[in-house]
Amino acid sequence: MLKKKLLVFLLTTILLFSLAGCTSSQDTYQKETYQAQVSTQAQSNEKESTNVIEKQEQDQISQSTSNNQTVQEEEPGHKAEINLIKARVTKVVDGDTVYVRFENGREEKVRFIGVNTPESTTKIELYGKEASAYTKSQLYRKNVWLELDVQERDKYGRLLAYIWLSPPESINDTEIRSKMFNAVLLLEGYAQIMTVPPNVKYVDYFRTYQQEAREQNKGLWELEINKNENSQVTGEPEYYIGNKNSKIFHRPDCEWAKKIAPQNKVIFKSKEEAIKAGYRPCKVCKP
C-alpha cells in the first residue's frame, strides 16, 4: 500500500514539473516573439525616419540652389556641347550692348564678345544709329541664348557673351552664320572685329565674316567707300578719325588712321570739331 502511494506521489510530481516546463517554454516563446516584433517595428520606424530626413535635406539643397541661381543654367534640348543661358532682351543700349532678364528674374547688362559697333549713345559715330536700330529690330523683347567665354565680365561689370538667336545643333560655320548674332553683325557690316583676350573662341570665324562684308561693301564698309569717293571730288573728307590714346586726328585714308583699333576710334565731322575736342592734326596726312 505504501509503495502505491509513493508511486502516485512520484507520478504526480513529475506531471506537475512537466506542466510547469511547458508553461515556461510557452512564455519564453511569446516573449521572444514580442521582442522580435518590437525590434522589426523599431527598424521600420528608424528607416522611415531616415528617409524623411534625407528628403528634407534634398529639398533644402534644391531650394538653396534655386535661391542662389545666377546665370549658370544649361539650356537643355540642344546637341551642341556648350553651356547656354536662356534670357529675354528687355532693352537695347546700342548696337553691341543690351539688357537681358534671366528666367530667375535677375537682370544683367550684356556686352557682345568680339565685335564693336559705332557709338550711338554719349557720342554719335557714323553708322552708329543704323547699327543700334538693327540690333533693336532683331533682339528687343525676344528670347536669346547666351554663351560665356573664359572671362565672364569686363572692367565695367558687364556680362560678356556670344548671343545665339536659337540653340545651335553643332558648332560649325553654317550654324554660327545663321544663329549667332555677333557673327550676323559682322556679316551685315554693322560691326567690326574687336578681339580682347582671353575671349577669342570664335575669332577665326569673325575674321572671315568681316572680310566678306568688306569685300561685298556691306553696311559701314559701303559708307567708307562713299566717303572716299566724296573726298576725291571735293578734295576734303567729310569726316576725320581721331585716336583716343594719342589724341591725334587723321584723314580717313591715312595709313595711321587705318591702324587705329576699333575701340579707340573717334569720328569727327570737321577739323574744327576735332581741335575743339583737344585733338591735334596728324603730321603725315596733314588734315
Catalytic residues: 111, 119, 158
Question: What's the rounded Cα separation, in Å, for the pair 184 and 177?
Answer: 6
Task: Using alpha carbons, list the distances in angstroms from residue 216 to 86, 94, 178, 242.
Answer: 33, 24, 18, 26
> Count of alpha carbons within 13 Å of 225, Cβ hemisphere only?
10
Type of residue found at 263: Q
Beta partners for 155?
none
Question: What's the rounded Cα separation, in Å, for the pair 268 and 248?
Answer: 11
Type of residue found at 167: P
Task: Kindly state the cell numbers that stand for 84.
Answer: 547656354
Q: Is 62 exposed, middle or buried (0-12, 13-18, 19+ CB in 10 A)?
A: exposed
